[in-house]
């Protein structure tokens, strides 16, 4: 069943998704890529045109704005990120709208060998008659998290045009670099000026997440001994051989993303770069509990030390850096923001569902930094790949939840 928000949400997501805004973990700048600012500047323009106040693009790349309150109440934040994942191609995204999905296979114009169906995405079976948005087959869609951006923008526009709705002040924050764990600059909590907030960066309708992975990033640098391969006997130490040993000594049939589920953590080798003289392994370490996270980091260090002991002429350096922590550690002390969004989800006729999220959001960092920030569904599915899709009607449900949240900030 179509809603008053469907056309706007569809238009926003189609326009936003077509803008290349991938982040880059190897960049030292903030934002990590200039192209993210193309999205940010567009949002600044649209927020100003709709009548939002205090519209700002910070020097660390966050778009901030205020929806003035129409009644006394706490200040609530709505957050979403503008960047798309670097793990898959996101250049030249061509969004496709499949109106009134018929329950069969969805095909892709630019990749005829691909198909999206209830067989490979079971939730799709529940979306018959709804409007599905995908990319064209060679890119991700970028609904993660441009769907969240579209939802927050649509709800903000609605509240600005309906001042009779009683709500407290709402602060909008559209961040860069969430996909590489750098979305929350240390200055953001003070600039946001919110008592609590919500990220719109989740999956199926009704889902509310207040428990995330704790996350570390790791870089292992292997420096060998370079020599001409024709005269290398007893001289060369091949960094790639040592790199391969490290990877093969890490768990292979357990403790990897493809062998874990639920609340199990993992060590994930995400990238290997370099040559025979020097090579670098990039890894991410995840666990829901700090003890498990620390144990996995210790295992990685032990593997590196073991391989280093087999070749004393080489240098192996293992650096582990904190990324974010399980927001549950803070939210379980005061569940008020979680209870509030559960009530809002119920207000729109959905059943609230909370399961640990096998990932993290900007809300993890914001919560750790003093702004309680659970995560709210958007409808996004099969993210970070060419089969990514979303229902416009699921986005409309999230928009209704945002508006219900606004109403619930006042009594």
Mean per-residue pLDDT pooled into runs of 10, the chain (411 residues): 92 98 93 97 98 97 98 97 95 97 96 97 97 98 97 98 97 96 94 98 96 96 96 96 98 96 96 97 97 98 98 97 95 97 98 93 94 98 97 98 96 74
- Is residue 327 within 8 A of residue 362, CB to CB? The reply is no
Asked whether residue 332 is marked as a ligand-binding residue, the answer is no
Listed in sequence order, the residues at least 6 apart from 62 whose beta carbon sits closer than 8 Å to its beta carbon are 40, 173, 174, 175, 176, 185, 188, 191
* The predicted structure's pLDDT at residue 174: 98
**E strand segments, 190-314:** 196-202, 208-209, 214-223, 266-274, 278-287
* The predicted structure's pLDDT at residue 401: 98
Separation between Cα atoms, residue 206 and residue 401, nearest integer Å: 9
Asked whether residue 201 is marked as a ligand-binding residue, the answer is yes
Domain 6-212+326-408 fold is: Aminopeptidase (3.40.630)
From-to residues of CATH 3.30.70.360 in the chain: 218-324
* The predicted structure's pLDDT at residue 181: 87
Catalytic residues: 83, 178
* The predicted structure's pLDDT at residue 63: 98
Asked whether residue 98 is marked as a ligand-binding residue, the answer is no
Separation between Cα atoms, residue 23 and residue 305, nearest integer Å: 32
Omega cis (within 30) before 408: no
From-to residues of CATH 3.40.630.10 in the chain: 6-212+326-408
Asked whether residue 144 is marked as a ligand-binding residue, the answer is yes
What does the DSSP 8-state code read for residue 153? H
Asked whether residue 209 is marked as a ligand-binding residue, the answer is no
Instruction: Please give the structure tokens belonging to residue 398.
Output: 């999230």
Listed in sequence order, the residues at least 6 apart from 29 whose beta carbon sits closer than 8 Å to its beta carbon are none
* The predicted structure's pLDDT at residue 25: 87
Instruction: Please give the structure tokens belonging to residue 86.
Output: 């670097």
Quick one: CATH architecture of 218-324?
2-Layer Sandwich (3.30)
Parallel/antiparallel/unpaired status of strands 196-202 and 76-81 = parallel
* The predicted structure's pLDDT at residue 281: 98
Nearest partner of 158 among 345, 353, 398, judged by Cα: 398
* The predicted structure's pLDDT at residue 169: 98
* The predicted structure's pLDDT at residue 220: 98
Parallel/antiparallel/unpaired status of strands 170-175 and 63-67 = antiparallel
Which long-range contacts link 37-45 to residues 24+ away (Cβ below 8 Å)? Answer: 37/61, 37/176, 39/82, 39/146, 39/149, 39/174, 40/82, 40/174, 40/176, 42/16, 43/82, 43/149, 43/153, 43/174
* The predicted structure's pLDDT at residue 2: 80
CB atoms within 10 A of CB 104: 11
């Amino acid at each position: 069943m179509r809603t008053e928000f469907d056309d706007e949400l569809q238009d926003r997501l189609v326009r936003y998704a077509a803008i290349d805004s991938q982040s880059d973990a190897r960049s030292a700048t903030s934002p990590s890529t200039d192209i993210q600012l193309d999205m940010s500047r567009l949002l600044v323009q649209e927020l100003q045109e709709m009548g939002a106040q205090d519209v700002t693009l910070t020097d660390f790349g966050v778009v901030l704005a205020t929806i003035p309150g129409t009644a006394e109440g706490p200040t609530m934040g709505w957050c979403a990120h503008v960047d798309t994942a670097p793990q898959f191609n996101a250049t030249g995204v061509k969004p496709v709208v499949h109106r009134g999905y018929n329950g069969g296979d969805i095909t892709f114009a630019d990749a005829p060998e691909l198909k999206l169906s209830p067989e490979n995405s079971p939730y799709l079976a529940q979306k018959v008659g709804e409007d599905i948005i995908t990319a064209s087959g060679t890119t991700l869609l970028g609904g993660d998290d441009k769907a969240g951006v579209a939802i927050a923008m649509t709800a903000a526009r609605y509240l600005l045009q309906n001042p009779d709705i009683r709500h407290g002040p709402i602060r909008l924050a559209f961040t860069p670099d969430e996909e590489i764990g750098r979305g929350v600059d240390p200055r953001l909590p003070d600039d946001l000026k919110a008592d609590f907030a919500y990220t719109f960066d989740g999956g199926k309708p009704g889902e509310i997440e207040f428990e995330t992975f704790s996350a570390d990033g790791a870089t292992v640098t292997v420096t060998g001994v370079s020599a001409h391969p024709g005269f290398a006997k007893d001289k060369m130490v091949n960094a790639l051989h040592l790199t391969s040993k490290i990877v093969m000594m890490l768990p292979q049939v357990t403790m990897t993303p493809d062998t874990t589920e639920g609340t199990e953590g993992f060590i994930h080798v995400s990238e290997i770069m370099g040559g025979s003289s020097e090579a670098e392994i990039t890894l991410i370490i995840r666990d829901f509990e700090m003890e498990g996270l620390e144990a996995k980091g210790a295992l990685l260090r032990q593997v590196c030390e073991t391989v280093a002991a087999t070749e004393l002429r080489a240098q192996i350096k293992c650096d582990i850096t904190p990324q974010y922590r399980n927001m549950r550690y803070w939210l379980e002390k005061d569940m008020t923001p979680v209870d509030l969004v559960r009530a809002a989800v119920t207000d729109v006729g959905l059943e609230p569902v909370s399961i640990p999220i096998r990932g993290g959001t900007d809300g993890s960092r914001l919560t750790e930094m003093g702004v309680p920030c659970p995560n709210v569904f958007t409808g996004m599915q099969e993210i970070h790949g060419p089969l990514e899709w979303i229902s416009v009607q699921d986005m409309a449900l999230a928009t209704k939840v945002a508006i219900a949240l606004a109403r619930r900030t006042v009594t």
